[in-house]
């Protein structure tokens, strides 16, 4: 439908709202509506950020990795309220016991392996920004969003994702140089924090959107790849901590330095787009391509596993660069 723009006063332009729509939502003079800017349009809703969304699921019989998936889906999709049902007689494993989907974190040993369903629900909820348990029941909990989603919070959280990956790259390089796992001993916790902010960014985009809707899909892909980069650093830390390479890792130093520099350049480019930085990244990529064969041949068996993950990060960074260039068009 079309509406004519009406000039009102010196600097104000107004349009009328469809009568049927205002009657359906009981709108009258003095009431408020919420406006969300998207691309070249404005979305008008009768409730802030649209309809109040609720969800419910039952975790009975689920393993911990599956429960995590359910929580992440309802959180990322922007649900305001979630009711989670459980069997109160069953003890659950510590949600943070898993280093990856089916691999345990050896730090969680006897005495911390199981907990009550309510304790487990609280542990799950603590992982998600602005989610709180507001109603604990005998066989359920109700979780509700307690904060307000804004584009400013998206910017702050995305920046935090970059800083956490930068921390990961610096600590991984130090661990490789010293052949000492101490710098990456807490990498699992850093990755949990990274995922927390990444999920928050996705939640904001699904609820609030982006002023430039065309860029939203690119930002979703960017966040996904940044999460993959973090996962690769986490996996490398697992090898360094638990496999305990016996030989030095000197053959990896050059590659680790290169990946660290590549990420720092990309991070700088993301916020300050510059063609010269793209050229620098292309030169780093060419240097790696020309030398990767000799690097790999020199690597020991211990080094080759970590070498593989560094190469994957380099490939993800190339894909991230393409997405960043796409955002300029």
The closest of 245, 163, 236, 241 to 197, measured between CA atoms, is: 163
Residues 109-138 have pLDDT tens digits of: 555 578 899 999 999 999 999 999 999 999
- The 10 Å Cβ neighbour count of residue 88 is 12
Residues 164-189 have pLDDT tens digits of: 999 999 999 999 999 899 999 999 99
Instruction: For domain 54-145, say whether CATH 1.10.1390 is its number.
Output: no
Which pLDDT band holds residue 229 (cuts at 50, 70, 90)? very high
* Range name among 1-5, 39-43, 53-57, 109-113 with the lowest pLDDT average: 109-113
Which part of the chain is CATH 2.10.260? 6-45
The span from the CA of 86 to the CA of 137, in Å, is 10
Taking a C-beta distance cutoff of 8 angstroms, is the pair 225, 263 a contact? no
Which part of the chain is CATH 1.20.58.220? 151-326
Beta bridge mates, 12: 8
Q: Which two tokens stand for residue 304?
A: 């080759």
The closest of 273, 148, 284 to 215, measured between CA atoms, is: 273
Residues 268-301 have pLDDT tens digits of: 999 999 999 999 999 999 988 888 888 889 888 8
pLDDT exceeding 90 applies to what percent of the chain?
60
Confidence (pLDDT) at 114: 83
Q: Which two tokens stand for residue 204?
A: 């904001």
pLDDT exceeding 70 applies to what percent of the chain?
89
DSSP state of 61: T
The span from the CA of 203 to the CA of 276, in Å, is 34
- The residues, ordered by sequence, that sit 6+ positions from 177 with a Cβ below 8 Å of its Cβ are 249, 253, 256
User: Looking at domain 151-326, which CATH architecture does it have?
Assistant: Up-down Bundle (1.20)
pLDDT at 49 exceeding the cut of 50: no
Q: What DSSP string runs through 15-37?
A: -PPPHHHHHHTT--TT---EEEE
The span from the CA of 174 to the CA of 111, in Å, is 33
Question: 3-state DSSP call for residue 40?
Answer: coil
The span from the CA of 155 to the CA of 251, in Å, is 38
Confidence (pLDDT) at 71: 97
The span from the CA of 78 to the CA of 80, in Å, is 6
CATH topology of domain 6-45: Pemi-like Protein 1; Chain: D (2.10.260)
Residues 184-213 have pLDDT tens digits of: 999 999 999 999 999 999 999 988 776 666
Which part of the chain is CATH 3.30.1370? 54-145
Integer-rounded Cα Rg, in Å, for the chain is 24
């Amino acid at each position: 439908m079309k509406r004519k723009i009406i000039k009102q006063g010196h600097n104000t332009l107004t349009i009328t709202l469809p009568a049927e729509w205002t009657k359906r939502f009981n709108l009258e003079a003095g009431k408020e509506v919420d406006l969300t800017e998207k691309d070249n349009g404005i979305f008008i809703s009768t409730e802030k950020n649209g309809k109040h969304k609720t969800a419910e699921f039952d975790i009975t019989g689920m393993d911990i990795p599956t429960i995590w998936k359910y929580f992440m889906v309802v959180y990322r999709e922007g649900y305001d309220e979630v009711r989670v049902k459980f069997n109160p007689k069953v003890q659950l494993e510590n949600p943070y016991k898993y280093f990856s989907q089916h691999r345990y974190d050896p730090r969680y040993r006897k005495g911390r392996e199981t907990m009550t369903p309510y304790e487990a629900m609280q542990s799950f909820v603590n992982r998600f920004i602005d989610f709180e348990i507001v109603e604990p029941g005998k066989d359920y909990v109700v979780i509700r969003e307690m904060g307000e989603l804004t584009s400013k919070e998206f910017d702050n959280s995305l920046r935090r994702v970059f800083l956490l990956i930068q921390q990961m790259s610096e600590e991984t390089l130090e661990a490789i140089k010293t052949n000492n796992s101490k710098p990456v001993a807490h990498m699992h916790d850093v990755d949990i924090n990274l995922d927390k902010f990444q999920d928050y960014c996705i939640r904001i985009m699904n609820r609030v959107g982006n002023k430039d809707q065309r860029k939203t899909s690119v930002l979703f892909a960017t966040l996904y790849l940044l999460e993959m980069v973090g996962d690769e650093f986490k996996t490398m830390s697992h090898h360094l901590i638990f496999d305990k390479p016996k030989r030095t890792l000197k053959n990896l130093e050059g590659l680790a330095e290169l990946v660290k520099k590549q990420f720092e350049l990309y991070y700088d480019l993301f916020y300050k787009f510059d063609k010269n930085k793209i050229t620098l990244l292309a030169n780093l990529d060419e240097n790696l391509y020309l030398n990767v064969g000799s690097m790999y041949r020199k690597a020991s068996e211990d080094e080759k596993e970590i070498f593989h993950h560094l190469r994957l990060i380099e490939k993800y960074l190339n894909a991230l660069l393409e997405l960043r260039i796409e955002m300029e068009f």
